[in-house]
Structure 1
Amino acid sequence: MTQPFTLSTLLLAGGQGSRLGGIDKGLMPFDGEPVAARLSRLLAQVGSEVLISCNRNADRYSQWANRLVSDPQPDYPGPLLGMLSALRVARGSHLLVVPCDMPLLDAPLLHSLVTLANEHPDRAIALQSGRQLQPLVCVLPLSLLNTLERAWQTGQRSPRRWLIEQQVITLRIAEDDPRLLNANTLSAWQDS
């Protein structure tokens, strides 16, 4: 008997913000509030719990999450470890992952991703824009936890490569879809 589809969500906000001079991207202002506040509300509309992966400013992030996760290793080891840390504690059967530097993501796009995941409950699902895989906008079944644990232990650090190894199914959208704004520089934040 298959487990019912239930959804936990994860906001990745654990990076060091090196392209922003060390600024915590999740706390960057967007439409008059920190982007993490906006994206956490969006995730709460889609899933049953909101996890935030952060490695600093936990007191700020805790107001927007049901639970926080942080990397057990120092020096910002990357988003794949944030995903692994969240899979270890998520209560749902699946984990929807979004990064904090895509402030224009919206509920219809995330619902489409989740619908595809519900149709393929044993597979990883990720967004693809044109020919570009967007590995940090994905849905992971918790059944992949052991696979990801092993990959991490053997040195895998790339979410993209790991998802490809899992034969990820993709939801394709236009390459120029404005919802995929990737705000990694101060000018991108100021223009958004």
Structure 2
Amino acid sequence: MHIAAVILAGGEGRRMGGADKALIRLAGRPLAAHLAAALGPQVQALAISANGDPARFADLGLPVLADAAPMGPLSGILAGLLWAAGQGAQALVSAPVDTPFLPADLVARLAAPGPAVPALAQAGGRLHPAVALWPVGLAAPLAAFLASGAKPRVTDFAFAQGAQAVEFPDPAAFDNLNTPEDLAAAEARLAAPAGEGRG
């Protein structure tokens, strides 16, 4: 299956003091670079969804997709779906820029059920709806959903399209870095000797 991926970097980073999360450094590299390293080897094409000056991501060498109308993660997913279709992809995998510990088999597991309906990551009984696989044919229904005035919740749209959850064994693989404390914990995790922490 030809699969593309999009890094969702449109968040405002309010709990990080309004910082651009994609450019926050973890172990000396921007979070966006961690995501690119995690997702790039798993897919045929990779882009980043972000608004504002795309030049700030020039070092990544990735296409930067702006939202037509910023309405949260679904806007970034829509931009990604439209771009992925142009790449000849059958499906798009999305992931937030603040999830640097994604598993190496993320795309393979999400793709296992096939590209017919969305597949959302789940671990430890918790759903992670922004970490998901989306059939590219959902671009038009998603655009209609966003234009309808409905509250743009990822789960509402996904389950209306028959989404299924895909279980992953390690809940820590989906940890979000939302606060300076989360970032400090991630730094410690990456600095831990092999066997004592992830990374």
TM-score scaled to structure 2, two decimals? Answer: 0.85
Offset at residue 59 of structure 1 (A): 1.3
Percent of matched pairs sharing the same residue: 29
Q: Give the letter aligned to residue 163 of structure 1.
A: A
Give RMSD over aligned pairs. 1.6
Give, as a single letter, the amino acid of the residue that structure 2 aligns with 1:169: Q
C-alpha distance after superposition, 1:137-192 (max 9, x if no partner): 00001011111111111123111211121121111134x62112111111101111
Q: Could you tell me which runs of 5 or more consecutive residues in structure 2 were left unpaired when the two chains were aligned.
A: 187-199
**78, 95, 99: which is aligned to 1:98?**
95
Deviations, residues 86-128 of structure 1 (Å, cap 9, x unaligned): 11121211101010111111212333223x2xx3221111101
Question: Is residue 2:31 matched to residue 1:35?
Answer: yes
Which secondary structure does the structure 2 equivalent of 1:105 belong to?
A: coil
Closer/same/farther in 2, CA of residues 57 and 29 from structure 1, 3 Å limit: farther
1:57 offset after TM fit, Å?
4.6
Letter in 2 for 1:160: T
Aligned length: 182
AA partner of residue 95 (structure 1): L
- 1:13, CA displacement in angstroms? 0.5
Matches within 5 A, 1:37-186: 37-73=33-69, 76-90=70-84, 91=87, 92-114=89-111, 116=112, 119-156=113-150, 157-174=152-169, 177-186=171-180
SS at match of 1:62: helix
Assess if the C-alpha contact under 8 Å between 1:14 and 1:56 holds in 2: no
1:65 shift after superposition? 4.4
Gaps of 5+ in 1: none
- Counterpart of 2:190 in structure 1 is none
